[in-house]
Amino acid sequence: MVTKCLSTNKATVNFMVPCRKPGNFMWPAGKDVQEVEKQFVLRKGLLPECMNSERQWFFKDYIELNELYNKYKECFST
Residues 6+ apart with CB under 8 A from 38: 5, 8, 9, 10, 11
pTM for the structure as a whole: 0.79
Phi, psi of 14 (to 5 degrees): -105, 110
Predicted local confidence at residue 19, as pLDDT: 94
Tally of CB atoms within 10 A around 6? 11
Predicted local confidence at residue 76, as pLDDT: 77
Predicted local confidence at residue 63, as pLDDT: 94
Strands in 2-5's sheet, in edge-to-edge order, are 2-5, 10-14, 33-37
Phi, psi of 73 (to 5 degrees): -60, -40
Confidence of residue 17 (pLDDT cuts 50, 70, 90): very high
Mean pLDDT, the chain, whole residue set: 90
Predicted local confidence at residue 78, as pLDDT: 63
Stronger pLDDT, 55 or 78, i.e. the higher one: 55
